[in-house]
Structure 1
Amino acid sequence: MKSWLFISLLMCSMANMALPDVVTNGNAAAQNTNLVANAGFETDGSWSFRAPVYRLSTNAPRSGARCLQYVNTDPARYWLCSQRLDLKPGCRYEITAWVRTENIQGDDSGAALCVEWYDAANRFLGGCYPRGVKGTNRDWQLVRGLTGPVPTNAARCSVSCYVRKGMTGVAWFDDIRVTEIIPPAIEAMISDCYRDQTDGGVVHVHVVAGHPRATLELQAPGPVTATKTGFCLDTTSWKPGRYALTAIARDADGRELGRRSLTLTRVEKFPPRKAWIDRHRRLIVDGEPFFPLGTYWGGIKTNEMAIYAQSPFNCIMPYADVGRAGLDLAHAHGIRVIYSVKDLYAGHRGIKTEEEARQRIARTVNALKDHPAIIAWYINDELPLTMLDTLTAHRQWLEELDPERPTWAVLYQYNQVREYLPTFDVIGTDPYPIPNSPPSKALEWARTTVAQTFGARAVWMVPQIFDWTSYKKQGRPPTLAEMRCMAWSCIAAGANGLIFYSWFDLWRMDKTTPFEQRWKDVTALAAEIREKIPILLSVEPTPALSVEAPESVAWRVFAKDGAVYVLCVNSDDKQPARVQLGKQRVELAPLEAQMIRFEP
């Protein structure tokens, strides 16, 4: 007979304050109040735009008597139609617009809308940019996006209708909406076990309430202890089987606001797997720890593989469907492959429905899952949060089709990773700051990515090695010092692998920066990391250290063969930094990274 223990976790000292009567089963919902004034362009006010690109039109509006029309024949002209908004810091919003298009042409995604925020000094802080509509669409098309939390230092926010830069044609916009998203009673609930399987020992369950003054309870078999981010429970004595864990959020009067569950599976012994993630967030391949150190590729070419195989890198992530021939070539050179199925969604590669997408995925995975070169499946490349249910389904399909390998997703939405938790086994984000932002952006993104997963998921970051002039008119490649800082910052922040972007851009930049020159710097960095992999993969216990360092310094402690090492990285590109490790003082130059052997 199971004994169930209920334990409460107070989420805020203001627990005695009343909460609104909101009950949810776990899904966020948008309020009905539209924050956009004159959302259908029925009057002349509220919006700021410039003629001749924008004008109010009576040409077949979606509703009412008018809509907004965009006409542009000059790809160099990039104007927006905008409106100031009063958005709440920390809140998230759903943004929608209805769009028609006529011959919208160019390399970007077309007619769209966006929400942006700026600080008090009018510095850009970020925004939400859903994919637009291009070509000719005589029927109204919905453009929809979900923002991340509005930054706490946002002083000015706006919504804009526009056509992406460098594009031309005609577009119409109507019925613009920006509505606040009411979070579910429980926003997130995950365990720190790979695919919620444990062979015994302590399991951490991380739970986030959707309201800051809610209390949480966890229903679980056996004793439960509250932690800072949820609960922990010892599964050592549990018999093999499946166990439901249920988190319940309550208000100050004890009323239930909502609940969320996960199923934890207790196994006597983990089944044999080709590749999986252990409790230390390490990738295990063929029974051995493996630190993915690779680059993005397009296809796989014989001459390029011969060059790459002589480098310190151990894997690649090709965008192309390289098939068995490509896998054979990589395997013959000792290179592992993260195989991409990231385009096998409805609306991509000629796939019309999700059922067709499922069939395509099944054909690909079943044809290749026996190949020894594959270590993971690449499942999502920056797809929007509006596809959450679809992304979750694709992850479930991959797990069913090939339970022996993890899935990896990469996002630019680094501050929304928590909402994507059901969609991946391993996560990465891709900061590409050089030259418009400092290298410290890589540290900021890596820290946030790890924190968004509660430190409970493996993180394979995607640092920059390319020159933005591969895609834009202006840019430069990162220096070796900048690349070194960005890579080691990611590791110091908690990354368990690095897949650099990108190999094919090194070739694309050859006319301005010779490949041989760039490859020399990139492989020098890779060699530094490869040399330290035995330390990075060690799981020997580490001592508690007293570390004093500025915020610009990332540090991480390792132990190997009885020795203690502290990785310290100064992400500041202008100022040196001083780090105090117990009695040991370390001086770091700007962008400097050191693996220091700690002497107590």
Structure 2
Amino acid sequence: MNDSSHPHAATLDGEGRESGVSRRTLMLGGAALGLLGPALFPGSAQASQETASVPRANLLDTTTEAVYQTSFEDSDVGWVSDYTAYDSTQHRTGNASLRYTRAYSTTYVFAGKKIPGTTDAFVPVSASVWVKTAGMQNGGASVCVEWYAEDGTFLTGGYTGTTQSTEWVQLTVPPQAAPAGAAYMKAIFFLSRGATGTAWYDDLTIIKYTARLLRATLAAPAYRGLLIPGEHQEIDLRIGVFPPSGSPATDYQIQVELSDAAGKRVDTKSFKGSSQLRYTSPVSRLRDGSYQLRVSARTRDGATASEKTFPLRKLRMDEVPTSYLDSHGRVRRNGELYFPIGAYNGPTTVQNLDDLRYAGFTTVLSYHVPSPQILNETQARGMTTLFNDQNADANQINQYKGHPSLLGWYINDETPADSQAGRLRPRYTSVTDNDPNHPSYSVDYRVWAGDDAQYVTDAFGTDPYPIFGKPTDIPRRVFTHTEATVRELPNTAIWPVIQLHNLGNYKHFGMRPPNLAEVRSMSWQAIVAGATGLLYYSRFDIENDVSGVPYRTLLDNAKTVVAQIRELSPVILSTERASSIRVAGDDELRWTTRRFGNRDYLFMVNLSEEARTVSFAGRGNDPVQVLYERRNLVKTKGRYNDDIEGLGVRLFQIS
């Protein structure tokens, strides 16, 4: 997510309509992606271990099923657009192929088709197609598969490189698992950004693999396997069994065993196989020290088909880190709750810090190694640092881990947790092995599966950038992404990245940066969906907006939004919900409630472009304050009523 490899691009469908999807490959034309010990305490806080069922793309069952095949003989209109056509003059087999032609480098369109039978949760899918080109300039031809939520939000995808070959060559998307919550998958043909020429596609095959049999996510303790005094009342393990096609989950028995450091079994429980299981065990009966939680899937004859283990440690009070992520995914920093509101920056100067402090940001994430002077200046301004450390070298961690401004380590920028776990685990381990007091943070444009993420990061955020300044923009994608991430990673710190910049700065067809209303909407979408922190991208982009919007205007927009979030952050971080608030149903409205002090709060976003009416009931009969709008609502016939504009935000306080 830096200047040279920013991941985001507009996706256009077969008719050239922009859909606002963000991902690295389309920006880079596919060429950049190949799809190719104790930590905090001895015997504890490590990434979980598994046997037989290792992360997808590392090991797959050999069972496969072809769910879609075409040699482009059937003239399926789903593949045809103004840029594609069936061509009988070129073909590898049969009598035709699909021809894709781009005459102008400024055109960026895709040929895509929904493929049925490819959305089973966590089931890997691969694609292969034969391609040849002619007259290709400034890039090449590529193919990908992508999954989307019901509202069209991109969730994840698998990609190939590009080819300029004038002879038939095969491009293959390695197995990529369908995410939970996917509504449909598309197979997509495209030319890299800025390329011109013609490509022919033939003999497309979509293969579905057997899923990883056993999935398990540790919901508590979600942070490094640490049972922290005052935080955790129980161990909570979420389990799913995903057997081969045609075999029911009930063919497997799930065994969970909790053992102490000496190997003595403390607890055990058995379940009949299911896609949704939950093991819990009270923490109060455990002594301080190390434990191992093992979950296994066993066949009817008792053989272990797959197994995962999670090291745990129950801490003494004198072992509690100075900073950590608590049982609700909130930052506890020197004993105080902290809601990070950060901004990406380039090499940081004192002037940059002054600008960020002016806008109210609490955290700086720099694309460089900050000097001791800059760290000191950051601390002097009451701000914290997310330190960019994307390697496995512990020297840098040990050098800077004691600085008072340090909030945590930014260890991953757009590298997937499933297919690239071998690269990411050493980075994560270098942090957990050497720094017990600061969490790690990772960002990706894909929604990660929970049991993949827990191997490689402490905090996580996605970065869907939906604003191009066009009628086709769908800002609601921030909510969809955040909600999906919170569902996959219960009780984990979720810090989404909110768009401040103009996608046109990266030649992504952006017309303008997000306006004030859009920045506010995206920010509160993330909070309503469960974010426990926010990052904004980026200060250096709004300083040099390609459309010419002044820096101070964009900085002031951020300041307006950030000021409100900072003021309400103690309320946002409250874990008590206002159960007395009851909101009338509306599919386009999303909300969350809080109880803080002697007041109830209702935070609401309108995901629609159209105005809506909100009606809710609450305690008492006093007027309800509409925060930051200098007006109140009066109770009428037992309810409060208000209008909320398209993409609007309403923050209600009920005394």
- Is this a same-fold pair by TM over 0.5? yes
Q: Does 1:535 align with 2:571?
A: yes
Give the Cα separation in 2 of the matches to 1:386 and 1:477. Answer: 33
Q: Does 1:479 align with 2:515?
A: yes
Give the Cα separation in 2 of the matches to 1:307 and 1:126. Answer: 33
Maintained 8 Å contact 2:323/2:438:
yes
**TM-score normalized by the length of structure 1:** 0.76
Q: Does 1:218 align with 2:256?
A: yes
Mark the runs of 5 or more structure 1 residues left unpaired by the alignment. 1-22, 59-66, 345-357
* Structure-to-structure mapping, 1:148-547, within 5 angstroms: 148-149=178-179, 153-154=183-184, 158-167=186-195, 178-193=206-221, 194-199=223-228, 201-211=233-243, 213-214=249-250, 216-220=254-258, 221-222=266-267, 230-249=278-297, 257-269=305-317, 271=319, 273-342=321-390, 344=391, 358=392, 361-384=393-416, 385-414=418-447, 416=449, 419-434=452-467, 435=469, 436-453=472-489, 455-471=490-506, 472-509=508-545, 512-538=548-574, 541-542=576-577, 544-545=579-580, 547=582
Q: Which moved more, 1:223-232 or 1:362-371?
A: 223-232
2:474 counterpart SS class: coil
List per-residue Cα deviations over 1:65-84 (Å, max 9, x = no partner): xx999998853465767787
Q: Percent identity?
A: 22
Q: Which moved more, 1:326-335 or 1:486-495?
A: 326-335
List per-residue Cα deviations over 1:144-183 (Å, max 9, x = no partner): 36143486653xx553444322135899999976322322
The alpha carbon displacement at 1:518 in A equals 1.8
Give the Cα separation in 1 of the matches to 2:571 and 2:551. Answer: 31
Maintained 8 Å contact 1:55/1:70:
no
CA 1:576–1:510 in 2, change beyond 3 Å: closer, same or farther? farther
Give the Cα separation in 2 of the matches to 1:55 and 1:508. Answer: 47
Mark the runs of 5 or more structure 2 residues left unpaired by the alignment. 1-50, 259-265, 622-638
List per-residue Cα deviations over 1:324-343 (Å, max 9, x = no partner): 3443342333321111234x
Partner of 2:649 in structure 1? 593
Give the Cα separation in 1 of the matches to 2:193 and 2:419. Answer: 23
2:120 counterpart SS class: coil
Partner of 1:16 in structure 2? none
Maintained 8 Å contact 2:386/2:409:
yes
Partner of 2:38 in structure 1? none
CA 1:410–1:125 in 2, change beyond 3 Å: closer, same or farther? closer
Partner of 2:124 in structure 1? 93
Q: Which amino acid aligns with 1:341?
A: D
Give the Cα separation in 2 of the matches to 1:55 and 1:583. Answer: 74
Give the Cα separation in 2 of the matches to 1:538 and 1:86. Answer: 43
2:499 counterpart SS class: coil
CA 1:422–1:174 in 2, change beyond 3 Å: closer, same or farther? farther
List per-residue Cα deviations over 1:237-293 (Å, max 9, x = no partner): 312222222223357898765332212112222525343112232112233221101
* Structure-to-structure mapping, 1:121-140, within 5 angstroms: 126=154, 129-130=157-158, 132-133=160-161
Q: Which of 170, 174, 183 is residue 144 of structure 1 equivalent to?
A: 174
List per-residue Cα deviations over 1:96-124 (Å, max 9, x = no partner): 55999999875x8x65321256899xx96
The number of equivalent residue pairs is: 545
1:492 counterpart SS class: helix
Give the Cα separation in 1 of the matches to 2:654 and 2:114. Answer: 53
Q: Which amino acid aligns with 2:480?
A: E
CA 1:427–1:27 in 2, change beyond 3 Å: closer, same or farther? closer
**TM-score normalized by the length of structure 2:** 0.71
The alpha carbon displacement at 1:369 in A equals 2.2
Q: Which amino acid aligns with 1:459?
A: I
Give the Cα separation in 2 of the matches to 1:152 and 1:84. Answer: 12
Maintained 8 Å contact 2:447/2:481:
yes
CA 1:511–1:486 in 2, change beyond 3 Å: closer, same or farther? closer
1:310 counterpart SS class: helix
Q: Which amino acid aligns with 1:337?
A: T
Give the Cα separation in 1 of the matches to 2:163 and 2:117. Answer: 33
Give the Cα separation in 1 of the matches to 2:211 and 2:318. Answer: 36
2:294 counterpart SS class: strand
Give the Cα separation in 1 of the matches to 2:448 and 2:105. Answer: 32
Q: Does 1:114 align with 2:144?
A: yes
CA 1:371–1:188 in 2, change beyond 3 Å: closer, same or farther? same
Q: Which of 577, 580, 586 is residue 614 of structure 2 equivalent to?
A: 577
Maintained 8 Å contact 2:502/2:513:
yes
Partner of 1:18 in structure 2? none
CA 1:251–1:38 in 2, change beyond 3 Å: closer, same or farther? same
The alpha carbon displacement at 1:51 in A equals 9.1
The alpha carbon displacement at 1:136 in A equals 9.1
2:534 counterpart SS class: strand
CA 1:576–1:511 in 2, change beyond 3 Å: closer, same or farther? same
Give the Cα separation in 1 of the matches to 2:510 and 2:608. Answer: 23
Give the Cα separation in 2 of the matches to 1:150 and 1:292. Answer: 28
Give the Cα separation in 2 of the matches to 1:203 and 1:55. Answer: 61
Partner of 1:557 in structure 2? 593
The alpha carbon displacement at 1:378 in A equals 1.1
Q: Which amino acid aligns with 2:595?
A: A
The alpha carbon displacement at 1:426 in A equals 0.6
Maintained 8 Å contact 2:504/2:546:
no
Give the Cα separation in 1 of the matches to 2:113 and 2:99. Answer: 16
1:330 counterpart SS class: helix
Q: Which amino acid aligns with 2:192?
A: R
The alpha carbon displacement at 1:445 in A equals 1.8
Give the Cα separation in 2 of the matches to 1:439 and 1:410. Answer: 19
Give the Cα separation in 2 of the matches to 1:340 and 1:410. Answer: 12
